């Protein structure tokens, strides 16, 4: 008996106790066909050549091909041939480790990962960290499939441990495949997201759902150390995550614009390079964004000099441009507002509640997204919240139409969670976490109704805030009441809003009757 025959016999004996008689007989017939083909090829032991020929002998039948592959996998596992398919993937990949073993392993390893850690352990860790998102089984299955693909990619490069540089190489390659049309958009998205999940878990040990924050490698470990030190300095200043990420964006863009590829390049940063980066920023950012970018750039260069990373302090050459408000604040006309209110009955309950809160109470985008169930006082008909922008408390009346819309959304449309998640407005699709912005929803609704604001082109949630102030001014509501309603802590913050008070602005206009008159003769006569 040849080795091939003995290995096949062992496989069949192993299967006999696990399969129904008819199923087992079907497997036996397919293995008999394999033996016949091996005799024709003069092959006496399991090998890749036999496996490839057997799979190719499908006679145009997908079902036959599938059964041949199944038999090849069974025999490959029994004979330990470690054969690969036409894609270079092992027919029998090593199983992923058990969750218990992974959790025990990471109890003794800190983050970010510094020692060589098996990519399999990181994949299981990533799955554990995503569990709180309550994603569907099919979605998690797609992530698992993507992670297995990343695992295969690493193995094909002779690496079985997590390698940050190799993962970024993987991202670069799938970007190329997407751009040249060899990878579908949905597949690119899931592979890209899966890779960034691994990167974040390897860096922090956790995963928080959100927009992908690109992790850039500079090809120079000393520059990467400078990048890490820069972020740590921002963290020590107790800046918010969004501010840190914006600083990080300016950091990465500046390095790219100036062509900095080594600490020596950074140390020799020149005024011309700084001016070049300012010009590059202005080509991709609007005037309003530049008013935010330039102070960050100036501060960043100052930090570089203080840390000794650049030879000269060039922060003084970064000057912010003067931006003058050319018109009064935009708002929605009464007619358009009535049309918008009528349309809300046809929109999702979440959209209706959000728009009414913005129109009636004038809450900011960030405060709507961060509104919690506890902050709604149903007993006393009021909303008591802590403003995200100012950190100051704000108490507003829970108007009947706002309260009804909120209750309707919470009881009939809001996704149910089992962990007492506090936020009111959640994503409609899993993961059901709080919304990070309602701008897109607002813009789409205004575009659907073709609503064009008075005195401007704005279409964000702040437009509703301005509209509420315009109505209060028209009703002669005292300015202090408007200030309290908006939650402002400084009278300077009221200026953009009070500019909408047309009648008062007319009183400030200069009398033009004196233009062309001879003032000195009048004075002489007097």
Which CATH number characterizes residue 453's domain? Answer: 1.10.443.10
Same domain, 303 and 191: no
Would residue 392 count as lying in a domain?
yes
Question: If we measure between CA atoms, which residue out of 135, 131, 168, 133 comes closest to residue 153?
Answer: 168
* DSSP characters over 411-440: HHTSPP-SS---BSSB-SSSS--B-S--HH
Q: Are 81 and 47 in contact (CB under 8 A)?
A: yes
Rounded to 5 degrees, φ, ψ at 385 are -135, 165
Residue 305 and residue 313 in contact, taking contact as beta carbons nearer than 8 Å: yes
Find out whether the peptide bond into 431 is cis, omega within 30 degrees of 0.
yes
Per-residue pLDDT band at 217 (split at 50, 70, 90) = low
Count up the domains in the chain and report the number: 4
479 and 390 share one domain = yes
pLDDT, position 225 = 85
In a domain, 231, yes or no: yes
Q: Given a cut of 90, is residue 25 above it in pLDDT?
A: yes
Residue 427 CB contacts under 8 Å (≥ 6 apart), including other chains = 415, 433, 434, 435
pLDDT tier for residue 319 given thresholds of 50, 70 and 90:
confident
Does residue 215 form part of some domain? no
Q: Which of 178, 204, 230 lies at the terminal end of a domain, its last residue?
A: 204
Angle subtended at Cα 115 by Cα 113 and Cα 119, rounded to the nearest 5 degrees: 70
- DSSP category for residue 393: E
Q: What's the pLDDT at 473? A: 82
Whole-number Å distance between alpha carbons of 399 and 396: 9
pLDDT category of residue 320 using cuts at 50, 70 and 90: confident
**What is the per-residue pLDDT for 380?**
94
276 and 313 both lie in a single domain: yes
- What number of other Cβ atoms are within 10 A of residue 387's Cβ? 18
- Average pLDDT on 177-181 reads 84
Is residue 88 a part of any domain in this protein?
no
Q: Is residue 111 part of a domain?
A: yes
Q: What token pair was written down for 357?
A: 């809160």
For 350-377, b where at least 16 C-beta lie within 10 A, e where not — what string? bbbbbbbbbbbbbbbbbbbbbbeeebbe
Confidence check: pLDDT of 522 > 60: no
Q: Are 373 and 464 contained in the same domain? A: yes
Q: Please tell me which of 218-227, 243-252, 479-488, 508-517 the model is most confident about, judged by mean pLDDT.
A: 243-252
Could you tell me if 144 and 244 lie in one domain? no
Query: What single DSSP character describes residue 456?
Result: S
d(CA 29, CA 39): 15
pLDDT tens, residue by residue, 323-364 = 655 556 788 999 999 999 999 999 999 999 999 999 999 999
Average pLDDT, the chain: 87
Residues 106 and 197 grouped into a single domain: yes
The backbone torsions φ and ψ at residue 395, rounded to the nearest 5 degrees and listed phi first, read -120, 125
- Give me the domain span that covers residue 178: 99-204
Q: Which residue, among 314, 301, 437, has the nearest Cα to 364 in the 3D structure?
A: 437
| pLDDT at residue number 429 | 85
Rounded Cα distance between 195 and 211, Å, is 13
Q: Is residue 1 pLDDT above 80, yes or no?
A: no
Please identify, among 270, 291, 317, the residue that sits at the C-terminal boundary of a domain. 317
Identify the band that residue 82 occupies on the pLDDT scale cut at 50, 70 and 90: confident
- Please give the pLDDT value at position 322: 63
Residue 331 in 3-state DSSP? Answer: strand
- Asked if 164 and 199 count as a contact pair (C-beta separation under 8 A), the reply is yes
Q: Determine the average pLDDT of the residues in 278-302.
A: 89
| Residue 325 covered by a domain | no
In a domain, 214, yes or no: no
Angle at the Cα of 364 from the Cα atoms of 362 and 367, rounded to 5 degrees: 115
Highest mean pLDDT among 77-86, 121-130, 150-159: 121-130
Query: Would residue 170 count as lying in a domain?
Result: yes
The CATH number that applies at residue 291 is 1.10.150
Residue 524 has pLDDT above 60, yes or no: no
Judgement on whether residues 383 and 486 belong to the same structural domain of the protein: yes
> 117's torsion region: left (phi>0), alpha (psi -120 to 50) or beta?
beta
Whose CA is closest to 333, among 367, 359, 309? 359
The alpha carbons of the chain give a radius of gyration, in whole angstroms, of 33
Judge if 276 and 191 occupy the same domain. Answer: no
143, 178, 204 - which closes a domain: 204
Q: Which two tokens stand for residue 22?
A: 């008819």
Question: 295: phi > 0 → left, psi -120 to 50 → alpha, else beta; which?
Answer: alpha
Are 282 and 193 in a shared domain?
A: no
Contacts of 146 (CB under 8 A, 6+ apart): 190, 191, 193, 194, 195
Domain identity same for 431 and 464: yes
Residue 19 and residue 157 share a domain: no
Same-domain pairing of 484 and 398 = yes
Return the structure tokens found at 16: 């006999």
């Amino acid at each position: 008996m040849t080795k091939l025959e003995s290995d096949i016999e062992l496989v069949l004996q192993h299967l006999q106790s696990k399969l129904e008689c008819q199923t087992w007989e079907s497997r036996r017939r397919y293995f008999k066909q394999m033996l016949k083909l091996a005799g024709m090829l003069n092959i006496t032991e399991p090998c890749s050549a036999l496996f490839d020929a057997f799979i190719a002998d499908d006679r145009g039948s997908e079902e036959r091909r599938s059964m041949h592959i199944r038999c090849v996998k069974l025999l490959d596992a029994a004979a330990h041939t470690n054969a690969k398919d036409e894609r270079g993937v092992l027919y029998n990949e090593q199983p992923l480790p058990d969750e218990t073993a992974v959790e025990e392993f990471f109890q003794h390893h800190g983050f970010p990962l510094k020692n060589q850690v098996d990519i399999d352990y990181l994949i299981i860790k990533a799955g554990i960290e995503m569990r709180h998102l309550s994603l569907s089984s099919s979605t998690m299955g797609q992530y698992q499939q993507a992670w297995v693909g990343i695992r295969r990619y690493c193995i094909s490069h002779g690496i079985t441990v997590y390698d940050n540089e190799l993962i970024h190489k993987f991202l670069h390659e799938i970007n190329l495949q997407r751009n040249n049309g060899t990878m579908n958009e949905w597949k690119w998205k899931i592979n890209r997201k899966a890779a960034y999940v691994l990167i974040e878990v390897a860096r922090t040990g956790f995963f928080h759902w959100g927009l992908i924050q690109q992790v850039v490698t500079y090809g120079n470990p000393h520059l990467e150390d400078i990048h890490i030190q820069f972020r740590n300095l921002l963290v020590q200043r107790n800046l918010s995550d969004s501010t840190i990420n914006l600083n990080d964006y300016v950091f990465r863009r500046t390095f790219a614009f100036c062509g900095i590829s080594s600490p020596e390049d950074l140390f020799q940063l020149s005024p011309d390079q700084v001016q070049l980066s300012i010009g590059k920023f202005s080509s991709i950012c609007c005037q309003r964004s530049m008013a935010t970018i330039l102070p960050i750039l100036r501060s960043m260069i100052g930090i570089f000099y203080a840390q000794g990373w650049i030879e000269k302090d060039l922060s003084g050459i970064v000057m912010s441009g003067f931006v003058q408000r050319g018109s009064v604040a935009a708002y929605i006309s009464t007619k358009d507002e009535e049309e918008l209110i009528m349309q809300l009955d046809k929109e999702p309950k979440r959209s209706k509640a959000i728009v009414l809160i913005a129109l009636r109470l004038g809450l900011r985008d960030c405060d709507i997204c961060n509104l919690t169930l506890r902050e709604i006082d149903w007993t006393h008909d009021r909303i008591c919240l802590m403003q995200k922008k100012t950190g100051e408390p704000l108490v507003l009346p829970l108007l009947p139409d706002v309260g009804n819309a909120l209750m309707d959304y919470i009881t009939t449309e809001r996704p149910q969670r089992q962990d007492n998640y506090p936020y009111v407005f959640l994503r409609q699709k899993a993961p059901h976490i709080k919304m990070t912005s309602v701008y897109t929803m607002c813009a789409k609704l205004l575009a659907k109704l073709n609503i064009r604001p008075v005195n401007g082109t704005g279409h964000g949630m702040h437009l509703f805030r301005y509209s509420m102030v315009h109505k209060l001014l028209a009703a002669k509501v005292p300015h202090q009441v408007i200030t309290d309603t908006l939650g402002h802590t400084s009278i300077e913050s009221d200026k953009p809003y009070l500019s909408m008070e047309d009648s008062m602005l007319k009183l400030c206009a200069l009398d033009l009757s004196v233009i062309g008159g001879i003032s000195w003769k009048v004075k002489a006569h007097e």
